[in-house]
Amino acid sequence: MDSTAPLKIGSGQNDIFKGQIKEVRLYNRVLKEEEIELLAKRDK
């Protein structure tokens, strides 16, 4: 992902998230399905 625009989390072109975001993770690659499942289980 290359962009000169600032990264905005919780806001879109036509909407704004009205809540709280507990945790944000950024990865420099696509996660495998197994990795996502492991992260979801670990964070419960």
- Those residues whose C-beta lies under 8 Å from the C-beta of residue 43, and which sit 6 or more positions away, are 23
Region of 25 (left: φ > 0; alpha: ψ -120 to 50; beta: rest) is beta
The residue range of the domain holding 22 is: 1-44
At residue 12, the pLDDT reads: 74
Q: Tens of pLDDT along 1-44?
A: 567 878 778 877 777 888 888 888 889 999 999 999 999 898 77
- Number of folded domains that form the chain: 1
Q: Which residue, 34, 26, 37, is CA-closest to 1?
A: 26
At residue 38, the pLDDT reads: 94
At residue 1, the pLDDT reads: 57
At residue 36, the pLDDT reads: 93
CB 10 within 8 A of CB 17: yes
Q: Does this model's pTM top 0.85?
A: no
Q: Where are the alpha helices (DSSP H) in the chain?
A: 33-42
At residue 22, the pLDDT reads: 84
